[in-house]
Structure 1
Amino acid sequence: MIKHRKIIYVVLSILLLPFFVNHIYNAPTADDYWYANYVSELGFIGTQLYYYFKWSGRYISTLFLTVNPLVFNSYKTYGIASFIYNISLILSLLYFFKVLFHKYEIKLSAFLISLITYFIYISGAPNISEGFYWMAGYVNYGVPLMLSVLSFGIYLDKRFSSFWRIFLVSLLNILSVGCNETWMLLTLYTQFAFLTLGYIKHKKVDKELLIIFLITSVAGAIALFAPGNTVRAQRFPKKHLFIRTISNSILYSIVYSFRFLKLQFLLTLILFTPEISKLPIFNFSNKKDIKLVLIFNFFFMFLLFLPALWSIGNKPPTRTINMGYFVFIFVFTFFYIINLQFYGDKFSKFIQKIKKNYKSIAFVCFVLLVSLTSVNTSYYDMLIIGPQYKTIIDKRYLDIESGSKNIITKDIRKLKTPSTFYRGDIHCYTQKQTPGDFGRYFKLESIRCE
């Protein structure tokens, strides 16, 4: 509860500490070297054209990834880049909640709610390393979330004139839909849903949102119809199977709607139920509005899985599912709020019990969060595995800086690797000793792993 705010800040600091410290150990891998090599060989503009016509229509993520630290021979600042992204995500949440709380006169700390939202997301995300530490992962699938949160904040911020609101939201949408195809589809769906619901309720079209939707559609088309998407699709024989795509999208939508009900998410909702029940945001007069939220969430989840199942024939990678979990946090919280307001009488006893036993409940929640979530694993990585991992990586870089063209290194895959921030390692082929992207970047002749 808000009167226990100082305690909550202390608890959040303990819970979030390892996730931030582990950026110290973060090191580039896989696609990070791949992008840097293409920039070195084709040039900056040539790389943009190559990816768009030969690999992917993600024109914005390609742009960002081809200015990564490796391009500037600054591989030691890789962890700083991931740290900056995570701070930027928190700041975007802070701006959004500040605008939202001001608009609806909500007496909650925007900073506190931003940190709680971030904690629920990072500690419950299906793939932490690819969503928060690996640059190729968070640029493709994390940056669009941050940009979209900013765009929602600007759209609600009435300090902007109509022109600047349309301009800035459209610009942020152009950037976000250019990061990946799934987010493009989800963004257009969300805008279309709000346009439709607004027309049903008010019998008029929101002209600002309509303009934004049309501009976003054009940007989405540029990404979707890129020649590179067709080229890449040829690698997947199970693509474009209609019945398989629809049936599996429905199945995964149902399964993940339950999987996303993470322990940390549910415990936070319980702890803040007394405060949530007082929120003056919504005034729902009938059950149809509640059903609309459920329908919106189902189709959102459906569209989360649809693109990958259609284009490659498989469930999307967990870094894509991270995006669904992020949005699910907001949608389910919204659903919880309106149920508290619609069925307020039935929740009254539950709320009173929380108020009466708040300290005991909070202590139990803290113990559960530390022991049963990824917080426990992240602390283990920070204190035990991370330093060992960094020692191996630092020695590898020292050998390279010494001028050696043939290096011998430990194969990290044979050791206990960090679970929260480790994405992968260089490709070591013990027989051929092929340098791979890592070797190409450092101009090595061979790599041998022990």
Structure 2
Amino acid sequence: MIPDHTADYKSPITRTIKLCQISIIIFLGICITWIFLNSINSFPTADDFCYGARAIEQGILQSVSIEYLTWGGRYSATLLLSVFGASKLLIEAYYIVPISIILAVFLAARHFLIKFSIQDKTYHFVFFVALISCFSYRESIFWMAGGFTYGIAAAIFLFLIAQELLIFLDFMANKKNPALWKIGNLCLMTLILAGFNETVMVAHIALLGQLFIILAYQNWKSRVTCMIGAIMLTAVIGALIVKYAPGNLTRMNDMSSQNVMASATKSFGWIFERYTHIFIMTWLLFYSSLIVFYPRKPNKSENKYLLLIIAILFFTLWASLFTRAYVLNGSGPSRTHTIDFVILSLAAFIAALYIFNSNMEAVFQSRRLKPIFISFSCMFFVALILRPTADNISFLDTLVNLKYSKSLKTYMSARIQMAQNGRDTALSVDDLKDKSRPATYFDDIQKGSKDWRNVCFSNYFHLKEIRLKNSLSEPDTLGEITSPGKD
């Protein structure tokens, strides 16, 4: 029997294990603290002002209706964006956006682990940081329009994956069927999820479809098969509500649908072309974390289902990529990749758990021999900081780029203050010379006053117009940015 706690080991390995664990927790704590501190420096941009201005002028429900009729069917995201955009929090407490997204992902990650019988609270934190580190910080955390549409959606999707996989595993293990009220709640959450974005909507339908086919093959008359079928039907209904939104006709004019088979083939190839190295790094990250923290005893009996779950998540990722390949003929912006990375991370974790369960003696030796244990601890650090994020940069680069948030917030706060004081006037403001550095930056107003970003900003602050200055007097670094009102 393999020991299940570091206290079972004799010194000095016990001290080594504790030291490595504490070192990792401190490092992860510093990372999350750094992210939270820089969340204070986040600020609204682009679509944020569009939703805010319209919700204030038309009302929240009318704003959602207008969006559905004139632009897109993302009813859940639009409602959330309108509620926050219409409040004073958009300007006065924008940091609530990134903090709420991060906390939502933490709760979902913790829920996922509990459903896989991992109760260790320390490991909950480790798993959460490993997961959130792969997000697009610019587009899925620090920007409201992208964060509420994709960041919150990722958290809800993670919660639903945990619940639906648990139903599947319980059925395979001949355990008690879930209560009907739980299925009702899952149907409601599924309907809500479908209204966030098309990528997560299609990915969820693909996941449910696979579970339904497997369950129907096992026993198509079973109560659980009907339950998963009901959830899947709800997901399809949500998708139809989105698809047939009148506003989609306007939005799709700029998009040309591709050939179905060509898109399916292309998206299948992308999994191996773009995500193989990320999957390997993520697998190393999670496997080393299981060795170092040993959150539960290995369980060989569940392995026969883990490989099947990996396959299910693989085809779910394929569906996620197919959505953009068919509609956009590309993989889409970074915020859409956040959904891919969540699915990929879960598949890598399940694969790591499979190896962890399969090699009990190897796990024991890894924790008993100091050089091997230390090597796994180092592997965790390296994989975490060097693994690419959905922004196509390393997590280390993301943390470094956060240092520009304070200077950027100072600059943008001055611009917003000038806009608040300039009601019914036309404003001309300086531009940023280097927009690639700050992780808290998404988009800015443009030179032409008729650009939609400029119009939304003007409408929100009741300006006649706003445009960028024609002069090229911008400073070289964010640390030297001057007030927008100065030449």
Q: What is the CA–CA distance in structure 2 between the aligned matches of 1:433 and 1:248, rounded to whole Å?
A: 33
Q: Tell me the TM-score normalized by structure 2.
A: 0.78
Q: What is the CA–CA distance in structure 1 between the aligned matches of 2:245 and 2:309, rounded to whole Å?
A: 34
Q: 1:154 to 1:364 in 2, by over 3 A?
A: closer
Q: What is the CA–CA distance in structure 2 between the aligned matches of 1:426 and 1:219, rounded to whole Å?
A: 34
Q: Aligned with 1:67: secondary structure?
A: helix
Name the residue aligned to 1:150: 159
Q: Which runs of 5+ in 1 are unaligned?
A: none
Post-superposition shift, 1:178? Answer: 1.1
Q: What is the CA–CA distance in structure 1 between the aligned matches of 2:263 and 2:142, rounded to whole Å?
A: 31
2:129 pairs with 1:114: no
CA-based RMSD of the aligned residues comes to 3.4
Q: 1:161 to 1:252 in 2, by over 3 A?
A: closer
Name the residue aligned to 1:409: 429
Name the residue aligned to 1:226: 245
CA displacement, residues 329-386 of structure 1 (integer Å, 9 cap, x when unaligned): 11122123224444667x5697368765323542564367557874433443344x12
- Equivalent residue for 1:391, pick from 402, 410, 425: 410
Post-superposition shift, 1:277? Answer: 8.7
Q: Aligned with 1:68: secondary structure?
A: helix
Read off the aligned partner of 1:411 and give its amino acid letter: D
Q: What is the CA–CA distance in structure 1 between the aligned matches of 2:131 and 2:359, rounded to whole Å?
A: 28
Instruction: Please identify, of 148-157 and 246-255, the stretch whose mean Cα deviation from structure 2 is larger.
Output: 148-157
| Identity score, percent | 20
Q: Which runs of 5+ in 2 are unaligned?
A: 7-17, 168-174, 389-393, 472-487
Read off the aligned partner of 1:90 and give its amino acid letter: F
Name the residue aligned to 1:377: 397
Instruction: Check conservation: 2:284, 2:379, Cα contact below 8 A.
Output: no
Instruction: Check conservation: 1:37, 1:437, Cα contact below 8 A.
Output: yes
2:165 pairs with 1:135: no
Read off the aligned partner of 1:128 and give its amino acid letter: Y
- Equivalent residue for 2:196, pick from 169, 179, 189: 179
Instruction: Check conservation: 2:76, 2:195, Cα contact below 8 A.
Output: yes
Instruction: Check conservation: 1:433, 1:448, Cα contact below 8 A.
Output: no
Instruction: Check conservation: 1:34, 1:437, Cα contact below 8 A.
Output: yes
Name the residue aligned to 1:98: 114
Instruction: Please identify, of 37-46 and 245-254, the stretch whose mean Cα deviation from structure 2 is larger.
Output: 37-46
CA displacement, residues 148-173 of structure 1 (integer Å, 9 cap, x when unaligned): 33335556499996122111111111
Kindly report which structure 2 residues correspond to 1:17-96, keeping only aligned pairs within 5 A, or say none. 17-69=33-85, 71-72=87-88, 74-96=90-112
- Equivalent residue for 1:261, pick from 271, 274, 279: 279
Q: What is the CA–CA distance in structure 2 between the aligned matches of 1:323 and 1:86, rounded to whole Å?
A: 15
Q: What is the CA–CA distance in structure 2 between the aligned matches of 1:211 and 1:416, rounded to whole Å?
A: 47
Post-superposition shift, 1:323? Answer: 0.5
Post-superposition shift, 1:61? Answer: 0.8
Read off the aligned partner of 2:251 and give its amino acid letter: R
Post-superposition shift, 1:69? Answer: 3.8
Q: Tell me the TM-score normalized by structure 1.
A: 0.84
Instruction: Check conservation: 1:57, 1:224, Cα contact below 8 A.
Output: yes
Q: 1:368 to 1:283 in 2, by over 3 A?
A: closer
Post-superposition shift, 1:23? Answer: 0.7
Q: What is the CA–CA distance in structure 2 between the aligned matches of 1:61 and 1:85, rounded to whole Å?
A: 13
Kindly report which structure 2 residues correspond to 1:1-12, keeping only aligned pairs within 5 A, or say none. 3=6, 4=18, 5-12=21-28
Instruction: Please identify, of 374-383 and 151-160, the stretch whose mean Cα deviation from structure 2 is larger.
Output: 151-160
Q: 1:159 to 1:138 in 2, by over 3 A?
A: farther
Q: What is the CA–CA distance in structure 1 between the aligned matches of 2:451 and 2:272, rounded to whole Å?
A: 46
CA displacement, residues 48-97 of structure 1 (integer Å, 9 cap, x when unaligned): 22222221111111111111245547412111222122112212222332
Read off the aligned partner of 1:134 and give its amino acid letter: W
Q: 1:123 to 1:353 in 2, by over 3 A?
A: same
Post-superposition shift, 1:204? Answer: 4.9
Q: Aligned with 1:357: secondary structure?
A: helix
Instruction: Check conservation: 2:73, 2:195, Cα contact below 8 A.
Output: yes
Name the residue aligned to 1:438: 457
Q: 1:435 to 1:303 in 2, by over 3 A?
A: closer
Instruction: Please identify, of 90-99 and 153-162, the stretch whose mean Cα deviation from structure 2 is larger.
Output: 153-162
Post-superposition shift, 1:400? Answer: 2.5
Instruction: Check conservation: 1:241, 1:313, Cα contact below 8 A.
Output: no
2:433 pairs with 1:423: no
Q: What is the CA–CA distance in structure 1 between the aligned matches of 2:438 and 2:132, rounded to whole Å?
A: 13
CA displacement, residues 22-68 of structure 1 (integer Å, 9 cap, x when unaligned): 21111111111111222244433332222222211111111111112
Q: 1:448 to 1:83 in 2, by over 3 A?
A: same
Q: 1:196 to 1:368 in 2, by over 3 A?
A: closer
How many aligned residue pairs are there? 436
Q: 1:379 to 1:235 in 2, by over 3 A?
A: closer
Instruction: Check conservation: 1:33, 1:70, Cα contact below 8 A.
Output: no
Q: 1:263 to 1:410 in 2, by over 3 A?
A: farther
2:376 pairs with 1:366: no
2:262 pairs with 1:244: yes
Q: Aligned with 1:187: secondary structure?
A: helix
Instruction: Check conservation: 2:204, 2:316, Cα contact below 8 A.
Output: no
Post-superposition shift, 1:6? Answer: 3.8
Q: What is the CA–CA distance in structure 1 between the aligned matches of 2:286 and 2:323, rounded to whole Å?
A: 32
Q: What is the CA–CA distance in structure 2 between the aligned matches of 1:355 and 1:131, rounded to whole Å?
A: 39
Q: Aligned with 2:101: secondary structure?
A: helix
Q: What is the CA–CA distance in structure 1 between the aligned matches of 2:315 and 2:453, rounded to whole Å?
A: 46
Q: 1:410 to 1:173 in 2, by over 3 A?
A: same
Post-superposition shift, 1:203? Answer: 6.4
CA displacement, residues 147-202 of structure 1 (integer Å, 9 cap, x when unaligned): 23333555649999612211111111111111112211111111121222234445
Instruction: Check conservation: 1:131, 1:141, Cα contact below 8 A.
Output: yes
Instruction: Check conservation: 2:194, 2:200, Cα contact below 8 A.
Output: yes
2:316 pairs with 1:300: yes
Read off the aligned partner of 1:410 and give its amino acid letter: D
Q: Aligned with 2:147: secondary structure?
A: helix
Post-superposition shift, 1:433? Answer: 13
Q: What is the CA–CA distance in structure 1 between the aligned matches of 2:205 and 2:37, rounded to whole Å?
A: 36
2:366 pairs with 1:351: yes
- Equivalent residue for 1:123, pick from 133, 152, 155: 133
